[in-house]
Amino acid sequence: MARLDEIDIAARVNPPSVSKVREQLLDYMAQTDMSAQEVAERTGYARSTLHFFIRGDYGRVAANDSHLRAALFEMMQRNPVRVSARSQGRLFQTESYRRIKKYFDAAVECGEVCLLYGPPGTQKSFVLEHLVAECNRKKQNGAIYVYASSDMPPLALLKRIGRQAGCGFKTQYTEGMLTRLLVHFSATEKSPAVIVDEAHHLHIHELELLRELHDRSGCGLVLAGSHNLYENFLRGRAQLEQWLSRIDHKDPLPGLSEREVYEIAASELGNGQPAKLSEKQLSTLVRACRVEDVFAHGADGRPAIVKYISVRRLVKVLAQHKMKGPAA
């Protein structure tokens, strides 16, 4: 009978065919130098099961490989050695990138706690996925990336962390999973930083579990989300007093500056050489990429009209320009 966590993964993940997953797994193991035992620990399966799958003999021990394929595929997606197709492309050295990298490094190297928040298009997920992939390529195992789904229960959050840390997760109890993580982290030379994307989805119980994990293991934390992330902490001040006292850095991420728009556009449109853009062209680009932050509030707490320049929008506008050709 399938475990509850197997059913949960299979319901969320639609993996490729068995041959494709096997090919990707072998490539992944070659790049990360992971053994079948390590893969088994990260997915909660026995090493012998992994050997059967790798040899193409899984049908000898089970009639259906969908749960195993889903677990393997999710492990590789959540702990990439290459950035996903969604985040492939140029990583621009913007002010947002520099801030995110500074706090990411602080969490990995010093175990600090950082909150990063801002509207869509400020590169949060994009940069974090690149930074975690870079850690994995260097085999530093310094960071774990976890996506916080809407209304995700506490046990599911801990299991996602455990899955990426290579910690067994057969328990169906939150306290048992937390204990497993703490024991696993204590056995490592240095606890990995836990990077939680879409952290504005987390409720007080999940936040308190992360705080306890940090307090008892020394792991760094980076919580990234929309700009109501910090507001959520303030609204729960009475119950999150201990959390608020542990935040080392909280930073609202900016949109692009006009200078950054010019530098990115000049680089992307110049065919290897910096292109020269007129003031009119720059103004047109800025207008096309300026979006309204519909959730912004002023200092008085009331809704405010705030506009910013979106990196995501700029990338799309430049791609459209390239498709039209130089004459466009």
Please report which confidence band the pLDDT of residue 299 belongs to, taking 50, 70 and 90 as the band edges: low
Per-residue pLDDT at 1 exceeds 50 = no
Q: Supply the pLDDT for residue 85.
A: 42
H helix or E strand, kind and range, residue 279: helix 279-289
Q: Supply the pLDDT for residue 328.
A: 46
Task: Calculate what percentage of the chain has a pLDDT beyond 70.
Answer: 83
Per-residue pLDDT at 297 exceeds 80 = no
The per-residue pLDDT for range 70-126, each reduced to its tens digit, is 889 988 887 776 555 455 567 788 999 999 999 999 999 999 999 998 888 788 888
**SS3 of residue 82 by DSSP:** coil
The per-residue pLDDT for range 213-233, each reduced to its tens digit, is 999 999 999 999 987 888 888
DSSP code at position 35: -
The residue-averaged pLDDT of 195-221 equals: 95
Task: Calculate what percentage of the chain has a pLDDT beyond 90.
Answer: 27
What is the rounded radius of gyration, in angstroms, for the C-alpha atoms of the chain? 22
Per-residue pLDDT at 285 exceeds 70 = yes
More confident residue, 281 or 9: 281
What is the full DSSP assignment across 118-160? Answer: --TTSSHHHHHHHHHHHHHHTT---EEEEE--TT--HHHHHHH
The per-residue pLDDT for range 129-176, each reduced to its tens digit, is 889 888 877 766 689 899 999 888 999 999 888 877 877 566 778 998
Q: What is the mean pLDDT of the chain?
A: 82
Q: Supply the pLDDT for residue 294.
A: 64
Q: Supply the pLDDT for residue 198.
A: 93
pTM of model > 0.85 = no
- Could you give all domains of the chain from N- to C-terminal order, each with its CATH number? 4-78 (1.10.260), 91-252 (3.40.50.300), 258-324 (no CATH)
The residue-averaged pLDDT of 201-212 equals: 94
Backbone region of residue 87 per phi and psi (left: phi > 0; alpha: psi in -120 to 50; beta: other values):
alpha
- 8 Å CB contact between 39 and 168: no
- Adjacent-strand bridge partners of 197: 147, 224
**Which of the residue ranges 32-41, 111-120, 176-185, 246-255 would you say has the lowest mean pLDDT?**
32-41
- 8 Å CB contact between 127 and 92: no
Between the alpha carbon of residue 122 and those of residues 130, 232, 257, 303, the distances in Å are 14, 20, 11, 20
The per-residue pLDDT for range 59-72, each reduced to its tens digit, is 877 778 888 898 89
H helix or E strand, kind and range, residue 291: strand 290-293
Q: Supply the pLDDT for residue 3.
A: 52
Q: Supply the pLDDT for residue 37.
A: 86
